[in-house]
Homo-oligomer: A and B are copies of this chain.
Amino acid sequence: MTSGREKFGAFIRREREAREIGLREMAKKIGVSPTYMSKVERDEFAPPTEDKVRSIAQILECDPDELLAMAGRVPSDLADIIKRHPVEMSALLRTANGLSAEELVRLSREAGKAKGK
């Protein structure tokens, strides 16, 4: 099994059709050719660059971070954050790995408190 998760292309096709946007219209808004869009939506081509994925997220009104994850990309601002404190952030992420979504939210709140001081 490649992944239990839905593929990037399949997801955006479904969401696009749900919003009754044509493939050509979508392609135009993003700034790519319809052909390319078609191949991406059928997962025949890899997902496009970060800026285009963000643009898609905006059009489909879905979370950019989630869509970028589906695209197999780390949001560039997160990459920058990690770069500022590589050792501590790596440790944090590795420890946070395996926590549930709820626990992660709690942890974020904890971080927010430290910051708010």
A106 to chain B, nearest CB (A): 7
B87 lies within 8 A of A63 (CB): yes
Q: What is the predominant secondary structure among interface residues of chain A facing chain B?
A: helix
A69 close to chain B: CB less than 8 A: yes
Knowing A104-B85, A110-B107, say if A115 contacts B92 (CB, 8 Å): no
Number of interface residues of A (CB under 8 A): 43
> How many identical chains are in the complex?
2
A115 to chain B, nearest CB (A): 6
B86 lies within 8 A of A107 (CB): no
The contact string, 1 if C-beta is below 8 Å from chain B, for chain A 57-100, is 00000010110110010110111011111111111111111110
A54 to chain B, nearest CB (A): 13
Knowing A95-B111, A112-B95, A114-B107, say if A78 contacts B101 (CB, 8 Å): no
